[in-house]
Structure 1
Amino acid sequence: MTTALHLARPDDFDRLDGLVAAFHAEAGFETEARVRQAALAPLLDGSPHGVAYLIGPARSPIGYIVICFGWSVEFGGMDGFVDEIYLRPAVRGRGIASEVLNALPKALASAGLRALHLEVERNDSKAVKLYTRAGFKPRQSYMLMSKKL
């Protein structure tokens, strides 16, 4: 893989938070700084529930990916969920997301992950094409449902 991935640590918070804020603004998510802080800080402190990787140069990353961990009886053990993946608009279309989505699951599998899931808007044909090329398949008889607590 030519695109560098760096496991985000506490001293990466400002860089990661800036990217997350940019993604949330672009996607129309209304998140406050304190909510992002509460969500990101545990990941940077080594929470067993997930990880955040910075994409690109460590000092000036061009994106990030967050993987959250769970457990699946169906898949036979630990699974993961691509919670967010983001690249700055200026670097999109260069194959960087494809590289990340092809390499990272291999590394996670070697660490014991049995399956990786993600959510995508059904009508976002560009994203669906990207994820399909990376080996993700829709589960036709399933849909993700959520309940905010």
Structure 2
Amino acid sequence: MAICLQPAQRQYLDELLFFVRAYHKCEGVQICDEVRRDAVISLLGNSAFGRIFLIRLDAELIGYVAISFGFSIEFGGRDAFIDEIFISAEYRGSGYGREALALMKAELARHDIKAIHLEVARTNKRAQQLYRSLGFSEREKYFLMSTEIFGVKG
């Protein structure tokens, strides 16, 4: 059984939204369905913003990863942020997330991405260990801060 990343297209919107809703429920993300749908469609429709990849195990869809693009002077060029990664519960703990992230890292390297960033819950030690094993490290001097602009959120 092999993992592959398939670039998501509009024709897979319903399946993708099923997984995005499941991820948001799992993480406690509060967003209305219309805003979620519009955001996914925007990302699917403009590869300058980023990409969404479906994670498949052979032919079966088991999750997704959403990447957004940016630019970093510090890292010397284009960078990427893993906005969301989700593997269905029944497939977790089998190495599929690790394999998907390794494939994603290789895919981004082919597109001259200089650095990849992600967020992980402080309490999610298992995910932290996985990310460290793939070369990610905490930035001891920094932590992520966010603000909504004009109160826009679902």
Q: Normalising TM by the smaller chain, what interval?
A: over 0.9
Are the counterparts in 2 of residues 80 and 117 from structure 1 also a CA contact under 8 Å? yes
* TM-score, length of structure 1 as denominator length: 0.94
Separation in 2 of the partners of 1:62 and 1:23? 12
2:23 match: 23
Aligned pairs for 1:96-115 within 5 A: 96-115=96-115
Taking the TM superposition and a 5 Å limit, the aligned residue runs for 1:85-96 are 85-96=85-96
Which AA in structure 2 matches 1:94? S
The whole-number CA distance in structure 2 between the counterparts of 1:96 and 1:47 is 25
Moved more, 52-61 or 93-102: 52-61
- TM (norm. structure 2) is 0.91
* Contact 1:6 1:58 survives alignment (8 Å): no
Deviations 1:23-63 (A, max 9, x none): 11111112211011111002212331110000015974110
Amino acid of the structure 1 residue aligned with 2:6: H
Question: Segments of 4+ in structure 1 off by > 2 A?
Answer: 57-60
Inter-partner Cα distance in structure 2 for 1:130 and 1:26: 19
Q: Is the 8 A contact 2:2 2:58 kept in 1?
A: no
Match of 1:69 in 2: 69
Matches of 2:106 and 2:4 in 1, distance apart?
A: 15
- Aligned residue in 2 for 1:126: 126
In the alignment, structure 2 segments of 5+ residues that lack a partner are 150-154
Corresponding pairs, count: 149
Could you tell me how far apart the structure 1 residues matched to 2:128 and 2:4 are? Answer: 24
After superposition, the CA RMSD in angstroms is 1.6
Q: Deviations over 1:86-130 (max 9, x none)?
A: 010000000001011112111211111000000111221011011
Q: After superposition, where does 1:33-48 map in structure 2 within 5 Å? A: 33-48=33-48
Q: Structure 1: any 5+ residue segments left out of the alignment?
A: none
2:5–2:103 CA contact under 8 A, matched in 1: no
Q: SS of 2:40's equivalent?
A: helix
Give 1:50-61 correspondences, 5 Å limit: 50-56=50-56, 60-61=60-61
Given that residues 69 and 80 in structure 2 are in contact (C-alpha distance below 8 angstroms), is that contact kept between their aligned partners in structure 1?
yes
Cα distance in structure 1, aligned partners of 2:91 and 2:59: 16
Please name the residue that 1:5 is paired with. Answer: 5
Identity over aligned pairs, percent = 38
My pick for the range that moved more, 28-37 or 1-10, is 1-10
